[in-house]
Amino acid sequence: MTNPLLSDWNTPFELAPFDRITDDDFAPAFEQALADHASEIDAIAQNSAPATFANTIEAMEAAGEALDKVLSAFFTVAGADSNPAREALQRDFSPKLAAHSSAISSNKALFARVAAIWEARDGLDLNDEQQRVLMLAHRGFRRSGAALEGDEDDRMKQIMGRLAELGTAFTQNLLADERDWFMALTEDDLTGLPDFVIDAARAAGKEKGSDGPVVTLSRSIITPFLQFSPRRDLREIAFKAWAARGANGGDTDNRAIAAETLQLREERAKLLGYPSFAAFKLEIEMARTPDKVRDLLMAVWEPAKARANTDAAVLTEMMHADGINGDLEPWDWRYYAEKRRKAEHDLDEAALKPYLQLDRMIEASFACANRLFGLEFREIDVPLYHDDCRAWDVTRDGAHVAVFIGDYFARGSKRSGAWCSAMRSQARFPDTQTPVVINVCNFAKGDPALLSYDDARTLFHEFGHALHQMLSNVTYERVSGTSVARDFVELPSQLYEHWLEVPEVLAEFATHAETGEAMPQEMLDKVLGAANFDMGFQTVEYVASALVDLAFHDGDAPADPMAKQAEVLEALGMPHAIIMRHATPHFAHVFSGDGYSSAYYSYMWSEVMDADAFEAFEEAGGAFDPAMAKSLEDNILSTGGSVEAEDLYVQFRGRLPGVEALLKGRGLAA
């Protein structure tokens, strides 16, 4: 019987045939596809003909199609619908993939061919995108250690294999801690909680096999519980469990993994001739150097900390007025901030939520994409990996553009957070392929499903990433979609969040779940007026995480990351009642792989641009100005990584932005 992962996918839009794939199919398909790709690479490296762009660079681009298909299907389910079998496969695949990657990047014959083309590039009549792809290929070999010899070459392979193992273990430990902990609630414990929190707790209890409602470590449940529960003792228990993920001792403790990861990253950087891992990592980002990153973060830190300290004093007074003496604690902040928001802005999230139905917010994100870029969305019935998933055929002027998949609900088999990935990226070489893009979120189920305002913003954020993939218009997959500098990749996603706050969008799509009536103008005004509420807290918890990440990687790796974390926070004067958004043992951005290592700052770097970019729309004629929308697509969304990020932004805006737009946007400007 043919393995469905290795056969032709004669499915609508050539989607993975999830209805025919079983967990038993993954390992044999992976081994076969891995071997086939290795043979393809070997044939390119051993080609006796002189190296050309076509027989080397394009041949590498065309190789590995079967492996791409297998891995896209596997990693989709491993992240969003895990089980013990898939976790075991991930532990097996990760070091093998790392070894395979190392074998390619350290292939001396292959590197020699790429280097020969690079040296001859000026006489090859390559177009701009081909020159960019060649540069990235050459740079990739150099940065992965292709020039290393002997023991250093062997050691680099060992390091990369071990880092892959550690990243997988970190992720699975975190998922286990999030999946296994829950706190049962009695009916009395529900007092004071809005109906949407109670409904989510009951649904979570059913999933956990409990007789009654529970609080889990899903952000969509624990955050509103901390906001609304008047039971300080229960808030403390829940908060401490949330903060302790990955640091509970035993088999799922991530602290030793973090320490070893940092040591190996430093060794990797020094083998390649860099003074630190941060110097290595940032060389290819817009920021370029650790000092530039630190300057940006500190420019935001001081005004954010001042705002947070002022807010903490107000919340402490509120707590004392409730008869609770002592210091404001981290499990108190969200509760009193919510009470303050209700008092100062007369904005009650429990009253707001019925206006933020998931289905209506999906419609809103689609409608904005239609007005800006002419995209149309038609829901389709195709086999997907979980019943929660939905899919849409995306078209423009009647022509198929992409398939978009949404997987919106929290469940125990899904890792926390929200993300966008391409199960297939756009490209025109070796054949034309249209993208298959997925947004994964962790919203609480309900009938109907209701979102917080932060949830709605997350939905728009991830859809901004999806647009970057769907509107890509390049020849080579290497530079397709979100294949851009890490501190540029968040620009399209953070920029798209602004359209949620456009009054006419909320007026049309923020309709009440029961009455169908539009959000009252008075409430809409309060929502927009409170957009920067508690921004000191939000900025401090984020920037603290980014500064700790940078400190871990800029200089000698700390033997004890927890001690280093404490040292950095003390030096910053971290407010007592706020903790890092992602403490080290659950900092998956940084330790599940090296994507955001030394680069967690990139959300803020991109925010400097997104605040400035949305100002361009406002200056031109409004949020849906057609000329600005076309410029955004032509200069940023369609170009992927085919041009340097800095040049793309200057083409769009005419200049690079300063930090002032960000401080103004966050309400932190002096």
Task: For residues 616 and 605, give the distance between their C-alpha atoms in angstroms, rounded to a whole number.
Answer: 18
Query: Please, what sign has the CA dihedral across residues 254, 256, 262, 267?
Result: negative
Task: For residues 597 and 581, give the distance between their C-alpha atoms in angstroms, rounded to a whole number.
Answer: 15
Task: For residues 560 and 132, give the distance between their C-alpha atoms in angstroms, rounded to a whole number.
Answer: 41
Task: For residues 234 and 215, give the distance between their C-alpha atoms in angstroms, rounded to a whole number.
Answer: 10
Q: Which residue has the tokens 């040049």?
A: 647
Burial of 42 by CB count in 10 Å (0-12 exposed, 13-18 middle, 19+ buried)?
Answer: middle
The string of DSSP codes covering 8-53 is ---SGGG---TTT--HHHHHHHHHHHHHHHHHHHHHHHT--SPP-I
CA distances for 265 relative to 261, 435, 564, angstroms: 6, 33, 16
531-541 per-residue burial string, b: 16 or more CB within 10 A, e: under 16: ebbbbbbbbbb
Lookup: tokens for 456: 């709605």
Containing 306, the helix (H) or strand (E) segment is: helix 290-321
Burial of 423 by CB count in 10 Å (0-12 exposed, 13-18 middle, 19+ buried)?
Answer: buried
Lookup: tokens for 72: 């896209």
The string of DSSP codes covering 389-440 is -EEEEEEETTEEEEEEEEEEE--TTS-SS-EEEEEE--B-SSS-B--EEEEE
52-73 per-residue burial string, b: 16 or more CB within 10 A, e: under 16: bbeebbbbbbbbbebbbbbbbb
Exposure of 471 in the CB half-sphere (CA atoms within 13 A): 25
Cβ neighbours, 10 Å, residue 625: 17
Q: Name residues whose C-beta falls within 8 Å of residue 235's C-beta, 6 or more positions apart in sequence.
A: 225, 226, 229, 331, 332, 335
Determine contact, residues 30/69, Cβ cutoff 8 Å: no
CA distances for 381 relative to 366, 393, 423, angstroms: 18, 10, 18
Phi-psi bin for 386: left (phi > 0), alpha (psi -120 to 50), beta? Answer: beta
SS3 443: strand
The closest alpha carbon to 400, from 470, 347, 298, 316, belongs to: 470
Task: For residues 244 and 649, give the distance between their C-alpha atoms in angstroms, rounded to a whole number.
Answer: 40
Helix%, strand%, coil% for the chain, nearest 5: 60, 5, 30
Which one of 40, 58, 285, 462 is the catalytic residue?
Answer: 462
Q: How far is CA 557 from the centre of its chain?
A: 25
Q: Name residues whose C-beta falls within 8 Å of residue 92's C-beta, 6 or more positions apart in sequence.
A: 27
- 660 is a catalytic site residue: no
What is the rounded (10 degree) CA torsion for 464, 18, 447, 348?
-30
Residues with a catalytic annotation lie at 462
